[in-house]
Amino acid sequence: MYVSVIGGDVATCTEDDCKNAEKIGEAIARNGAVLVCGGRGGVMEASCKGAISEGGTTIGIMPGAPRGEGNEYLTHEIVTGLGAVRNSLVVLNGDVVVAVDGGYGTLSEIALAFQYGKRILGLGTWDIKGIEQFDSVDELLTELENILSD
């Protein structure tokens, strides 16, 4: 199973958001799933750090063309040269999408996830009908682990 993690970049990701994203990454790896993200900083980097700490696999789908722009916790860096258009690839490759925090880039990924019929779990992200919102990372992790164990 693949889990797309989307959310705030380094400009908006708070310390708590990053800690929560790291826990989400840990849970993804512990449950044998692959983490897919946009490959940069903030929530993306923190979730990858968590997954790697548990021996997991991380895939960063990069907006640019030169390899080496991704965060240090990527197992695989896929360059696209597509800019923000790559957002569709990030969510399309997840069996489920987890959104933590986030600005307009995250909002575009959420919209794409709806278009692709993806289930979206949210923590401190956009308050939009259809996103399963959780009040704590522990509640989100319980649901995510249920999904990953099916």
Q: How confident is the model at residue 150 (pLDDT cuts 50, 70, 90)?
A: confident
* pLDDT computed for residue 128 by the predictor: 96
Q: How confident is the model at residue 11 (pLDDT cuts 50, 70, 90)?
A: confident
User: What pTM did the predictor assign?
Assistant: 0.96
Q: Which domain holds residue 80?
A: 2-149
Residues 6+ apart with CB under 8 A from 141: 23, 24, 27
The average pLDDT across 91-114 equals 97
The average pLDDT across 7-12 equals 91
Q: How confident is the model at residue 66 (pLDDT cuts 50, 70, 90)?
A: confident
Under 8 Å between Cβ of 127 and 133: yes
Q: At residue 12, does pLDDT exceed 90?
A: no
The average pLDDT across 109-119 equals 98
The average pLDDT across 94-105 equals 96
Pairwise CA distance, residues 123 & 16, whole Å: 11
Amino acid identity, position 65? A
Pairwise CA distance, residues 68 & 64, whole Å: 10
**Mean of the per-residue pLDDT values of the chain:** 96
CATH of the domain at 104: 3.40.50.450
Q: At residue 110, does pLDDT exceed 90?
A: yes
- The total of other beta-carbon atoms located within 10 Å of residue 66's CB is 8
Residues 6+ apart with CB under 8 A from 131: 99, 110, 120, 121, 122, 125
Phi/psi at 114 (nearest 5 deg)? Answer: -60, -45
Structural domain tally of the chain? 1
The average pLDDT across 33-57 equals 98
